[in-house]
A and B are shown apart, each in its own frame.
Chain A
């Protein structure tokens, strides 16, 4: 998989749950524009892709990681990315099924966001908007989509 060649923004999302991957695609289609969602089914594949980016490749505007994944979990991906200079400033969010204190502590330690997966439509509608808030001001302006009530 290569980064998008067209001048657009892209977000990385790694999760081993296929239903959550589909859900996220639907969320971003509804609430965001000018942004492509690149999905990976485990942390290892997501990290391998990110690690292969050259200095001239466009960087993701946001990286979303499920915590519990096979091969390489979200925490491991965060620790490896934060060691790399070109990923120091990329916003990363841990997106998890449960609100565990130790995971929240880890997120604070590594300066990454922390969000729990939604349980119903009320919580789900806020998700894409909450993710967009992690992006830089310029990116937010370009990808935020107004949804008709």
Chain B
């Protein structure tokens, strides 16, 4: 009786979890397929510049490059900015740095003589955007309500996914454990992955 109830509720929750998190599954699946077509390590080329805007900015004279880049970063108010990096001087000795965002990176260059910051946006593709959103969780991509909400949802879907893997195996064992093809499928893949794990470890 208890086993029947356990199976009944496990199946129900497994189904509900799958239906509730279906959109996350789609984003993850699409991201995983797209990843095959990403360039090899060291061969990444950024997308072309999609737009450029200029912003007036006068720097206090007593800031070093890191402090100045932080001041520019705060003034630029780039949507969904995930932090600045690669603070450096370009070939003309202008302060330059990059800002990561979910919708593509920004390259900022400060032309101190003109008092202008040039912000070049390299908008990413929809696939790269999905890839970025598939990494969202409660401590990341927290910058607008929609992104925050998706982050919490994505994290919840991860827990649901783990539950579904375990509950799925349980339901198989509880109903059709003697299916030969099912056993061979699981055993075959398990053996392959065990060998691969040993090889890389």
A binds B: no
Interface residue ranges, A against B (CB under 8 Å): none
Interface residue ranges, B against A (CB under 8 Å): none
